[in-house]
Amino acid sequence: MKWMSWNVNGLRACLNKGFLEFVRDEQPDVLALQEIKMQPNQADFSIDGYQIYWNSAEKNGYSGTAVLTKRTPERVRTGIGFPELDAEGRCITLFFPNVTFVTVYTPNAQDGLKRLQTRMQWDDAFRAYLTELAKDKPVIVCGDLNVAHQEIDLKNPSTNHLNAGFSDEERGKFTELLNAGFIDTFRYLYPDRKDAYSWWSYRFRSRERNAGWRIDYFLMRSCDIGYLKDHILYSNVYGSDHCPICLLTEGL
């Protein structure tokens, strides 16, 4: 199975930057999108062979998630039961017969960490949600988790310490998620790989200099590691300030 995830930072803009060509070339079985910034009625495209599920934010032009899938799920859930942030369209869960697939756009703590407490509440609620799902069957979690977990996961850890996405609190919550029985599949496969990022600021020629952060993830339950085959970063694919990421599994 080829699972993919991409924070497109505005799907309508990404459509003009090669999005459809990328999907047709790569042919993922399931593709999760974050920060779509649009409503379903604004979509004027379709891709043969794919169903599309939406969870748009109530606020126009903001946040939101979507999933394109070749496989028909048994059911779909939007949100995690956190009313304030569920209104921002941050999570979609697809329930397949032998695996549960979750995509998330984790709220940003924002400049000065002014939304940190809300972010902490979300992280706790999301961890509880995943832990409950994991009791049933294998779970694949993907998306923009808005945190670089280790110093190796961003170019300039010393100057970004305490900034949003690399605060002690956010990193600690990610550790709690791993301790709850999940693994960061990329770091599991490539524990020492440096300069491997999924997001680059549009400022300061950051992408050209590869001064990035790895804040987009695929997570699996540690007990399901036998299904894992590879994790790929498509750092040469543009169209957003994030690049697509890919998880390859066998047997799910």
Q: Which of 56, 50, 51 is nearest to 11 (CA)?
A: 56
* Whole-angstrom distance, CA of residue 120 vs CA of residue 62: 21
* Whole-angstrom distance, CA of residue 216 vs CA of residue 125: 19
Residues β-bridged to residue 184: 219
**Sheet-wide strand order for 139-144:** 75-78, 91-95, 100-105, 139-144, 216-221, 182-184
| DSSP SS3 for 221 | strand
C-beta atoms surrounding 226 within 10 Å = 9
Under DSSP, the state recorded for 101 is: E
**Which residues are CB-contacts of 133 (< 8 A; sequence separation ≥ 6)?**
93, 100, 102, 139
**Which residues are CB-contacts of 97 (< 8 A; sequence separation ≥ 6)?**
74
Q: Which of 139, 135, 107, 93 is nearest to 247 (CA)?
A: 139
* Whole-angstrom distance, CA of residue 242 vs CA of residue 252: 27
CA atoms within 13 A on the CB side of 83: 0
Q: Which residues are catalytic?
A: 105, 144
